[in-house]
Copies of this chain bind each other. A is one copy, B any other.
Amino acid sequence: MSARRTIRIQSEPFDSAKETATLSALGSDIGAVATFIGYCRSENGRLKALELEHYPGMAEDEIGRVADEALARWPLDALTIIHRFGVMVPGDGIVFVGTASSHRAASFAACDFLMDYLKTRAPFWKKEILADGRVGDWVEAKADDDAALERWKR
C-alpha cells in the first residue's frame, strides 16, 4: 500500500483530534501514531499574538519535499502535515504533524524529523504582537534548530 500523504497550508484552525483519528483509522495494521502540535505561546504574558507570514507556493513545495524525504526514510502508512499562517493567539495550534506506521520507532522518528525540517526549511516567519497591541520584532531563528538538523545527516 502506498502511503497516504496529506499536506495543508491554511489560515483556518485545524482539529488535531480529527486529524489523529484519520491517521488511526487507516487500517487494522496501523500500530503506532505519533503526533506533534506546536502552539502559539504568550511567553508569560509578553505576547498578545503571533503573525505568521508565509511564501505561498513554496510552502507547499518545500513541505512536500520534506514529506517525501520522510516517506523515503521510514516505512510509514501515512503522514499529515498542517501549517497555519495568519494571526494566532496564545493557545492556538500553529502546526500539526502526525505519522502512522506499523512500528513505533518509525512513527516517532519521522514525526521528529518532520518537525526539525519544518522549523528550518518551511518558508514561514513569525512576527510578535506584544501584549499592549504594538507590533514587536520578527522572531529570530534559533541556532538550536539548525543543530537539531545535524541529527538526521547520514
Contacts and interface: CB of A to CB of B under 8 A. Distances in A.
How many protomers of this protein does the assembly include? 2
Nearest to A17: B17
Interface stretch (A22-30, A51-59, A65-73): A22-30
Contact of A29 (B29, B41, B93, B119): B41
A52 B32 CA distance: 17
Contact of A35 (B20, B25, B43, B148): B20
B16 A28 contact: no
Main secondary structure of the interface of A (DSSP, over half): mixed
Interface residues of A, number: 38
A63 interface: no
A105 B148 contact: yes
B102 A38 contact: no
Interface of A: 16-18, 20-21, 24-25, 28-39, 41-45, 90-91, 93, 102, 104-105, 107-108, 111-112, 115, 119, 144, 148
> Which 6 residue pairs spanning A and B have beta carbons closest together?
A17-B17, A28-B90, A28-B42, A31-B41, A33-B37, A35-B35
